[in-house]
Amino acid sequence: MNNILEEIRSFLSDKEAILTPIKCSFDNYENKISSLELLSGFTGSSGIAIVSKTNAILCVDGRYTTQARKQTDQKIWKIEQSPQYSVENMIRDVMSAGDTLVVSLLAHSYKSYLKILEITKSIDVNVRSIIEHPITRYKENGYNENRIVVMDDWHEMDTSDGAILTASKDTISWIFGIRKEKLGNDKSPLVNAIALISETGKPVIFSDLPIANNNNNKFDYHPFDSFEQVMLEFKNYTIKANYSQIPAFFLVNLLKSGFNIVSDQKTHRLYTKTDSEIEAEKYGAFETSISFIKLLAHVDYLMKTGHKISEKEAVAMFKNPKAIDFSFKPICASGKNTALVHYTDGDTSNYIIENEALFLFDAGFHFDNSTTDMTRVLYFGDNCPQEFKNVYTTVLKSVIFYSMSIFPENTECSSLDTISRYYMWKHNMDYDFGTGHGIGNYRWVHESPRIAKESKDQMKCGMVTSIEPGYYTENYGIRLENMLLTVHAPNGMLQFEVLTYVPFCNNLIDKSLLGLDEIEWLNNYNSEILQKFVPIFQDDDISMAWVKENTSAL
């Protein structure tokens, strides 16, 4: 049994259980692995667990059910899938009347905390609130080596609503232009912080990282441990807070001190890009497309010439001298590893890339003014199964159909998600994850809007988002991802401008499954790639040959 699981259980009494989300503290720990990986071995990026002396349940979304079962000890862990299985199901299945649920106030949002109190009350379960989750003692404490840097890119915020308390990392980064000096393992430049912004006075930011250049006139900075003391100065304010974003610890303490807190679900930031941010994203996408083509072309060449190359070696080939770092840990998967949606061993695995198998690469960069995210799938070998061609072409049809769509401004992203799934559903296929997400300008690679079945976000002109449908089985996975910019269509509605220009894999495309409009779109796309990149690869015969091979007219 996992020693950490045993120690967590030693923290509990016989009638106690503890909830463990993917991240268990509102801090800037630099950790190589998540709380759930420490506890169970599961390496995915989303999930929640409950542990008692005798039970251990891990709940993940549809992207990760296969991965979770492979990575955890099935004699210990029961794997459930959300949203069908909820935190309420989890608590009810493990706990009985009179038992006690241990809840870390730093590990859960205030909204989640209120829901937990509601659930436990309904089944007569007690709650023991603690500040830090005990699992954080096992994490690497490397944040003391990091600092906050104040950049030049910041935005004015409408404070006519009065005082706003926010813990949204991308909102705080967007407003004040702050980043972590070192990106660390998760490659995120966003700082865990909480900010009070009011219509009178200078904004106040609290964080557990020191600030590198505190000579700014944008905000006052204070360390986390002075939060309660400094906030007393604002006790006469009515403070609006998004309960789903702020860790329970902060609001519980303010309410105990007599503050007037009201719920406010606004994000208080714009996810549309300015003209300069759009140009920066186009620049980043162009540079990343060059790097993608080089990586795919050279790995393909090595495979065709009989060389052996590992996933780790392939990741090392993905580089750009103008980039600051990867925008996330690259996903480099071959053969059976493609079946894991967020397979994350690409930078450490010596797994040899297979011939006569699929190869999936999902990666991006942070530049000093933009962030990128792209995915491509190749097939190495001469005997590509028809099943792979059918699936790949259907996923490609979804990308094309979505990319050609025209829709009114403020269309809900759940409707756009349906557009992407249209061809998948026609062929009895689907995927258990969202269709896409917003992409920031040297911020987190995943931001609003979220394009998913249940999303209430709205698509507006000037947003940069991803389109990434896919199909996964127990044995393989295929996903394709482009970056898109929302622009005005000639009829006044909205349409997409493609920012990613990386060829799709010709030997995985079954032309007979494509309609004439899809063939036209693909030929135009390939023509633009040739126009953009043939001059770039004049001195790179391998990349030039690969581009021409995979952009030949259908």
Nearest to 187 by CA among 446, 368, 444: 444
Q: How many DSSP H helices and E strands does the chain contain?
A: 14, 28
Q: Do 321 and 284 belong to one domain?
A: yes
The answer on 317 and 179 residing in a single domain is: no
User: Tens digit of pLDDT for each residue in 421-464?
Assistant: 999 999 999 998 999 999 998 888 999 999 999 999 999 999 99
Residue 245's nearest CA partner among 109, 116, 115 is 109
Residues of the chain with pLDDT under 70: 1, 27-32, 140-144, 157-161, 214, 344-348
Do 298 and 433 fall within a single domain? yes
User: For residue 244, how many other CB atoms are within 10 A of its CB?
Assistant: 12
CB atoms within 10 A of CB 371: 29
Residue 270 lies in a domain: no
Query: Which of 112, 138, 164 finishes a domain?
Result: 138
Residues 433-449, buried b or exposed e (16+ Cβ, 10 A)? bbbbbbbbbbbbbbbbb
Q: Does 392 map to a domain?
A: yes
CA 520 → CA 393, 515, 523, 526, distances in Å? Answer: 15, 9, 5, 10
Residue 8 belongs to domain with CATH number: 3.40.350.10
In which domain, by residue range, is 524 found? 275-550
298: nearest Cα among 316, 325, 323: 316
pLDDT for 159? 64
CA Rg value for the chain = 24
Alpha-carbon distance 109 to 210, whole Å?
Answer: 24
pLDDT number for residue 392: 98
Is 212 found in the same domain as 312? no
Total domains present in the chain? 3
User: With contact defined as beta carbons under 8 Å apart, do 370 and 283 qualify?
Assistant: yes
Task: Evaluate whether residue 268 is within a structural domain.
Answer: no
Which of 355, 370, 339, 351 is closest to 312 using CA atoms?
351
Determine the 3-state secondary structure of 253 from DSSP.
helix
Identify the residue whose tokens are 């994490």.
139
Instruction: Identify whether 15 is part of a domain.
Output: yes
- In terms of DSSP H, where are the helices of 209-365? 227-231, 248-256, 275-304, 311-317
Q: Are residues 303 and 350 in the same domain?
A: yes
DSSP state for residue 356 in the 8-state scheme: S
Q: Angle at CA 366, nearest 5°, toward 361 and 368?
A: 155
Residue 335: give its domain's CATH number: 3.90.230.10
Query: 48-52 and 16-21: which strand pairing?
Result: antiparallel
Question: CA 3, 64, 186 angle in degrees (round to 5)?
Answer: 70
Angle between helices 541-550 and 275-304 (to 10 degrees): 100
pLDDT given for residue 66 in this prediction: 85
Residue 455 lies inside a defined structural domain of this protein:
yes
Closest CA to 395 of 429, 362, 432, 364: 429
| DSSP codes of every residue in 36-50 | HHHHHS---SS-EEE
Question: Tokens 């990986």 — which residue?
Answer: 37
State which of 213, 243, 263 marks the end of a domain: 263
**Domain co-membership, 108 together with 188:** no
Residues 331 and 413 in one domain: yes
Q: Is 332 exposed, middle or buried (0-12, 13-18, 19+ CB in 10 A)?
A: buried
Asked whether residue 368 falls in the same domain as residue 516, the answer is yes
Query: What H or E segment, with its residue span, contains residue 279?
Result: helix 275-304
One domain for residues 501 and 427: yes
Task: Judge if 84 and 176 occupy the same domain.
Answer: no
Which of 395, 410, 409, 397 is CA-nearest to residue 517? 397
120 & 12 share domain? yes
Two tokens at 15? Answer: 């009638």
d(C-alpha 72, C-alpha 43), whole Å: 10
Confirm whether 501 is domain-assigned: yes
Domain-ending residue, one of 231, 263, 295: 263
Residues 149 and 229 placed together within one structural domain of the fold: yes
Using alpha carbons, select from 127, 158, 142 the residue that is nearest to residue 18: 127
**Of the candidates 201, 304, 296, 278, which has an alpha carbon nearest to the alpha carbon of residue 497?**
278
Whether 269 is covered by a domain: the verdict is no
Q: Is position 376 within any domain?
A: yes
Model confidence pLDDT, tens digit, residues 159-207: 666 789 999 998 999 889 999 988 877 788 999 899 999 877 789 999 9
